[in-house]
Structure 1
Amino acid sequence: MSPFLALSGISKRYGGVRALENVDFACAPGSIHAVLGENGAGKSTLIKIVSGVVQPDTGAMTLDGAPVRFPTPAAANRAGVVCIFQELSLMPDLTVADNISISDPPRRLGLIDARAQRRRAEALLARLGCEDVNPQIRVRDLPLSRRQMVEIAKALGKDPRLLILDEATSALTAADVEQVYRMLARLKEEGTAILYISHRMHEIEALADTLSVFRNGRHVETFAKGQRTNRQIVEAMIGRDIAAQYPPKPERPRPPPSLEVTDLGWAGRLKDLTFSVGPGEILGLGGLDGQGQKEVLLALFGVLKGVTGTVSVEGRPHRPGSPADARRAALALIPEDRKTEGLMLPMSVGDNLVAASFDRIAAGPFIDADRQRRAIDEAIRRLQIKVGDPGDPVSTLSGGNQQKVVIAKWLMTQPRLILLNDPTRGIDVGTKQEIYRLLRELADAGAAILFYSTDYDELIGCCDRVAVMYDGRIVRELQGDAITERAIVASALNIEQEADPAHG
Structure 2
Amino acid sequence: MTPDNSPFLELSGVSKRYGGVRALEGVDFACRRGSIHAVLGENGAGKSTLIKIIAGVVQPDEGTMRLAGQPVRFRDPLAANAAGVVCIFQELSLMPDLSVADNIGISNPPRTRLGLIDRRAQRRRTEELLARVGCEDVNPLEQVKNLPLSRRQMVEIAKALGRGPRLLILDEATSALTSSDVLKVYDILKKLREEGLSLLYISHRMHEIEELADTCSVFRNGRHIETFPAGTHSPDEIVQLMIGREMAHVYPPKPAGRGAAPPVLEVQDLRWGDRLNGVSLKVGKGEIVGLGGLDGQGQRELQLALFGVLSGLSGQVLVDGRPVTLASPAQAKHRSIGMALIPEDRKTEGLMLPMSIADNLGMAAMDSLTTGVFVDPAKERAAIQRMVEKLKIKVGDVGNPVATLSGGNQQKVVIAKWLLTEPRIILLNDPTRGIDVGTKQELYQLLRDLADAGASILFYTTDYDELIGCCDRVLILYDGRIVRELQGDEIDEKAIVAASLNLGADAKTAPASHSGISP
TM-score w.r.t. structure 1 length?
A: 0.99
| Corresponding residue for residue 304 of structure 1 | 310
| Corresponding residue for residue 501 of structure 2 | 493
1:467 deviates by 0.2
8 Å CA contact 2:32, 2:198 repeated in 1:
yes
Does 1:53 pair with 2:57? yes
Per-residue deviation, residues 16-56 of structure 1 (Å, max 9, x unmatched): 10000000000100000000000000000000000000000
| Corresponding residue for residue 460 of structure 1 | 468
Per-residue deviation, residues 277-319 of structure 1 (Å, max 9, x unmatched): 0111000000111111111100000111111111101122122
Write the letter of the residue equivalent to 2:289. Answer: L
Does 1:126 pair with 2:136? no
Distance 1:138 1:498, change over 3 A: closer
Map residues 190-269 of structure 1 onto 2, 5 A cutoff: 190-251=195-256, 252-269=258-275
Write the letter of the residue equivalent to 1:280. Answer: G
Aligned residues between the structures: 502
Map residues 99-498 of structure 1 onto 2, 5 A cutoff: 99-108=103-112, 109-251=114-256, 252-328=258-334, 329-496=337-504, 497=506
1:484 deviates by 0.1
| Corresponding residue for residue 89 of structure 1 | 93
8 Å CA contact 2:360, 2:413 repeated in 1:
yes
Give 3-state SS (helix, strand or coil) of 1:476's partner. Answer: strand
| Corresponding residue for residue 8 of structure 1 | 12
1:498 deviates by 5.9
Give 3-state SS (helix, strand or coil) of 2:340's partner. Answer: strand
Per-residue deviation, residues 442-467 of structure 1 (Å, max 9, x unmatched): 00000000000000000000000000
Q: Take 2:12 and 2:270, find their aligned partners in 1: how far apart are those partners?
A: 59
Q: Take 2:303 and 2:507, find their aligned partners in 1: how far apart are those partners?
A: 31
Q: Take 1:95 and 1:220, find their aligned partners in 2: how far apart are those partners?
A: 43
TM-score w.r.t. structure 2 length?
A: 0.96
Q: Take 2:364 and 2:207, find their aligned partners in 1: how far apart are those partners?
A: 36
Write the letter of the residue equivalent to 2:304. Answer: L
Q: Take 2:362 and 2:21, find their aligned partners in 1: how far apart are those partners?
A: 26
Give 3-state SS (helix, strand or coil) of 1:158's partner. Answer: coil
| Corresponding residue for residue 24 of structure 1 | 28
Q: Take 1:225 and 1:59, find their aligned partners in 2: how far apart are those partners?
A: 27
Q: Take 1:305 and 1:341, find their aligned partners in 2: how far apart are those partners?
A: 19
Q: Take 1:323 and 1:182, find their aligned partners in 2: how far apart are those partners?
A: 41
Per-residue deviation, residues 218-265 of structure 1 (Å, max 9, x unmatched): 000011111000000001100000111000000211201000111011
Runs of 4+ aligned residues of structure 1 deviating over 3 Å after TM superposition are: 496-502
Give 3-state SS (helix, strand or coil) of 1:112's partner. Answer: coil
1:501 deviates by 11
8 Å CA contact 2:499, 2:507 repeated in 1:
no
Q: Take 2:9 and 2:135, find their aligned partners in 1: how far apart are those partners?
A: 31
1:500 deviates by 4.4
Structure 2: unaligned runs, 5 residues or longer: 512-519
Give 3-state SS (helix, strand or coil) of 1:265's partner. Answer: strand
1:189 deviates by 0.5
Q: Take 2:510 and 2:187, find their aligned partners in 1: how far apart are those partners?
A: 34
Per-residue deviation, residues 54-86 of structure 1 (Å, max 9, x unmatched): 000000000011000000000000000000001
8 Å CA contact 2:495, 2:508 repeated in 1:
no
